[in-house]
A and B are shown apart, each in its own frame.
Chain A
Amino acid sequence: GAGVSQTPSNKVTEKGKYVELRCDPISGHTALYWYRQSLGQGPEFLIYFQGTGAADDSGLPNDRFFAVRPEGSVSTLKIQRTERGDSAVYLCASSSYRGLATGELFFGEGSRLTVL
């Protein structure tokens, strides 16, 4: 499809395990964001890429979280030593340069992470 694609849609893991979440943005979109959303809350900013580089990673909660975008397209969010508090929906969004001016972020359907 033409939208933002996220995989897996659901991931159940055990405390202490390593998890990777993938985001495939809209073709040609240079800006890519990761947010996470807990039940009843708004999306919480994690990290923003412009091209291949992380322009702002101030939202990553601690050093267990890391994200890459090596070729400026697909991005992977990596979580080490998962904790129960990491359980949330992880949302990826992309935007074009023009879209950023209008505030239009296109979100994927999210990856729901459950840490048991």
Chain B
Amino acid sequence: RKEVEQDPGPFNVPEGATVAFNCTYSNSASQSFFWYRQDCRKEPKLLMSVYSSGNEDGRFTAQLNRASQYISLLIRDSKLSDSATYLCVVGYGQNFVFGPGTRLSVLP
């Protein structure tokens, strides 16, 4: 079993749709959680951290359930510019483990 698993995707959604990505992790000692975004043939960039209480950044909402070892990312009112691969990242100490990513295509 991989340390970090994500929905296989790809997700193809129309503009304006709401889309949710799921991620599970196996290491119960994991301490920190993040979502990164990676555009095609570009480097990954931090999208947002994920906190136990849940957190929101504009159209993006992240949730963490430590008991279930589950992380989610919700994108509301999808824009064409949201098209990218979304990488779930789990950290313990200063080690960061990336999931395989879920590709999102927002269609006009």
Contacts and interface: CB of A to CB of B under 8 A. Distances in A.
A52 to B, nearest CB: 15
A45 B95 CA distance: 8
Nearest to A6: B43
A80 B96 CA distance: 26
Interface string A6-45: 0000000000000000000000000101010000111111
Nearest to B50: A103
Contact of A42 (B34, B43, B101): B101
A50 interface: yes
B1 interface: no
Contacts, number: 50
B49 A42 contact: no
B57 to A, nearest CB: 13
Kindly state the interface size class of chain B when it binds its partner: 20 to 34
Kindly state the interface size class of chain A when it binds its partner: 20 to 34
A48 B32 CA distance: 17
B45 interface: yes
A13 B86 CA distance: 31
A108 B42 CA distance: 9
Given A105-B46, A109-B42, A42 B96 contact: no
Contacts of B68: none
B54 interface: no
A42 B32 contact: no
B70 interface: no
A59 to B, nearest CB: 9
Interface of B: 4, 32-34, 42-46, 49, 87, 89, 91, 94-101
Given A45-B96, A91-B44, A100-B94, 17 more contacts: A31-B94, A40-B100, A41-B100, A42-B87, A42-B98, A43-B44, A43-B87, A45-B95, A45-B97, A48-B94, A48-B95, A102-B49, A103-B49, A105-B96, A107-B44, A108-B43, A109-B43
